Structure 1
């Protein structure tokens, strides 16, 4: 076999249409008190262009400048920001501690933050909302509550946030792993990523694997744990973060998981996700599907990787069917030969093409 011809990465390489540029401006926006939550934001592109609000994943994933490359800088005014508790926003879970950063950190507050940012940046009319993974959930919730502010939703890797969706990724066969590590005892992401799953499962003792998310959260919730406890928290955060990071790609970057293996990112990412998942994302079960009728009149475009094992394609198909039943079929539904990450080549091409083809806001 010619091993040199094997695919070694599924990450984007030269598929970008638009170059990387520095932000046109950036700032910190106070949005709350006690604790004093302050959001970090950046703006790219045309200051007089059509506004695009970019909602990152996670929760707790934060933004990076590369994410501005989906958008034509001559046409769009692109706003990236780090949601509460993560990235350059303050307080940050890793640097300032979870007690402060997770206080007043719910979906309701994040929705309100989008409006605060709109007001601060003088975005008064409709805007495009672009979100992937958890960002798709937040975009849908925002549009349901504020349809008057949204011209279009461009969504990637649909995440409906139901309990069964979380169990698929975080529970799998963990309960039987000790005795039957490779047995397909229930559905789950582990089926496609058994080696990466092993590293995630074995952080938790066998007797606690009946509820993996609860077991991880118990580690994160320990207060004043001492040196050994802090080391255990970091190890758990890294395992959680790397698990999601590597399985987001059809070719998992196990040897180089990037920021997911960085301590500060992992501590924020894992603890914010565990906080939201333990509270059903702070929305009622079935909320998005029950409220899709409120999205009438909004153009909706969906790009989803066929091989996505973080948010499987069935979630996108469920949303598309619900919208059709409500009389608001999606404008675009593209299934790429990719996994979950926005930074896989086919997904980059598809999302950029969708943005290039949107109806102008002044049409």
Structure 2
């Protein structure tokens, strides 16, 4: 079973100004002369962790990680203005140009898979390969599944009820728009309360086996504030994507080597997301991570992702 590579520290990190408002945190790890690979985190609003560096052989890869607009170490923290998918894609290109990278591999999970796919479809000549995990296609039905009383709430009704208990009107506000209005409203204490409840609901659903340490690590005040508010912001805007945009544009990336790893029992992003993507990319490799949910740290999923990064080394 593949395990994480040893912990490493960045050899370079900086804030990159991408417009008059936003600065995004960028770091490089591993071998400066290695094969370039970009890690795209989930959420939206999740930010990168130290373990995210560890999917890649540091002797072989030049590992680039960044925190998307308004989250993690990017500034201003929590900012939702000028924060949409097209601009995030532009940010990725600005990072590539800044680092003088011609082409690179792209590795993304959950929302990171969404952004990876949109980036690749926008700039296919810059992407040597895709390694994707926990596919989220960004369609309204994908949002409703987890956050508007969809199928996930039937699988974890107890967790969902605990989320509803934190909403002033309970079931009457069991939709993304209602939560977004609270989390962007004037009552900051209530906004944070709902943001934490939203984050706890989602993160509890991420692993097949309950993992309280995993939940605690991802739902502190700062992390919950950006995760929940960013997710709601993108979701009420249909992730700033056109109708079925990703599947409709797969012809643009049909020749890019693509590995898809998806947990069989993923409750946050159901397996049919990955299955549909694989059908739209018949040359892709679909790996079903058995006995796994959504999280990248689950043993089988971690194993398959590290195997994919090993296989991509030239």
Q: TM-score range by the shorter chain?
A: over 0.9
In structure 2, what is the equivalent of residue 111 of structure 1?
Answer: 89
Shift, 1:207, TM fit? 6.2
TM-score of the superposed pair, with normalisation by structure 2: 0.96
1:278 CA drift (Å): 0.6
Q: How far apart are the structure 2 equivalents of 1:156 and 1:81?
A: 18
1:153 to 130, 136, 159: 130
Q: 1:80, 1:130 → 2: CA distance? A: 10
Q: State the secondary structure of the residue aligned to 2:38.
A: strand
CA distance in 1, matches of 2:7, 2:256: 29
Question: Matched residues in 1 for 2:43 and 2:133: separation?
Answer: 13
Structure 2 counterpart of 1:214: 177
Q: Is the 8 A contact 1:111 1:138 kept in 2?
A: yes
CA distance in 2, matches of 1:24, 1:294: 34
**Partner of 1:20 in structure 2?**
7
- Identify which of 256, 263, 269 aligns with 1:298: 256
**1:288-317 per-position Cα deviation (integer Å, ceiling 9, x unaligned):** 011000002200000000010000101100
**RMSD of aligned alpha carbons:** 1.5
Structure 2 residue 110 is matched with structure 1 residue 133: yes
Match of 1:81 in 2: 66
Q: Is the Cα contact below 8 Å between 1:303 and 1:336 reproduced in 2?
A: no
| Shift of residue 341, structure 1, vs aligned partner | 0.5
If you compute each CA radius of gyration, which structure gives the higher value, 1 or 2? 1
CA distances 1:78-128 after superposition (whole Å, capped 9, x unpaired): 0011000100000111xxxxxxx111111010000001001111112x210
How many equivalent pairs are there? 313
What is the 5 A alignment of 1:35-54?
35=21, 37-54=22-39
1:339 to 282, 289, 293: 293
TM-score (norm 1): 0.83
The alpha-carbon distance between structure 1 residues 246 and 15, as it changes in their structure 2 partners (threshold 3 A), is farther
| Aligned counterpart in structure 1 of residue 153 of structure 2, from 175, 185, 190 | 190
* Alignment partner of 2:19 out of 32, 51, 57: 32
1:57 aligned residue (28, 42, 59): 42
Query: Aligned partners of 1:345 and 1:190: how far apart in 2?
Result: 25
Aligned partners of 2:243 and 2:106: how far apart in 1?
Answer: 23
Q: Is the 8 A contact 2:27 2:66 kept in 1?
A: yes
Give, in whole Å, the separation in 1 of the partners of 2:290 and 2:65.
25
Name stretches of at least 5 consecutive residues in structure 2 with no aligned partner. Answer: none
Q: Matches of 2:247 and 2:57 in 1, distance apart? A: 32
Segments of structure 1 that go 5 or more residues without pairing to the other structure are 1-13, 94-100, 173-186
d(CA) in 2 for partners of 1:260, 1:232: 19
Contact 1:171 1:188 in 2 (8 A): no
Structure 1: distance between partners of 2:290 and 2:176: 30
Three-state SS of the structure 2 residue aligned to 1:111 is: helix
1:248 aligns with 2:213: no
- SS of 1:334's equivalent in the other structure is strand
Q: CA deviation at 1:152?
A: 0.3
CA contact (8 A) 2:192 2:221 kept: yes
